[in-house]
Amino acid sequence: MLHNDAFRALDRQECLGLLAKVPVGRVVYTRHALPAVLPINFALDTDDSVLLHTSPDSDLVRAVDGFVVAFEADEFDAATRSGWSVIVTGRGTVVTDPAEHERLMRAGPTSWMPLRDAVFVRIEAEMVTGRELIGTRAAL
């Protein structure tokens, strides 16, 4: 296996710090026995879980509630060939507790889509991994 100094593994705290800086990521789940990826805005909660705000009728809610899913976010600069990618893996659950739902209505993520009767989906941060691509300029 080739060693590549261009990549550096990120620890959990570095990963969470980077996630807190970007507004959009991708939730990865299973839909009709096939992998599905959905870009969505998000926020991190105080327990480091990923929070999504969506419609209760969405396919996403049915597909992730009670199942292990992944959430990925990244940031890259093509000019410097640098960036990072973070993946959170854990069980997805719909927030059903009324007090918790009310707290998230005040402090949680807001959907970029107009929603009526919205729900929050929590992805537990059971496994958090990431890597940084250390940039190099392309040779001319």
CATH number at residue 77: 2.30.110.10
Is 64 within the bounds of a domain? yes
Q: Is residue 84 in some structural domain?
A: yes
pLDDT reading at 138 higher than 60: no
pTM, two decimal places? 0.87
For the chain, what is the domain count? Answer: 1
Q: Residues of 81-117 as b/e, b for ≥16 C-beta within 10 angstroms?
A: ebbbbbbbbbebbbbeeeeeeeebeeebbeeeeeeee
| Inside any domain, residue 105 | yes
Mean pLDDT of 19-38: 94
Q: Is residue 36 part of a domain?
A: yes
**Residue 60: which domain range?**
7-133
- Residue 2 inside a domain? The answer is no
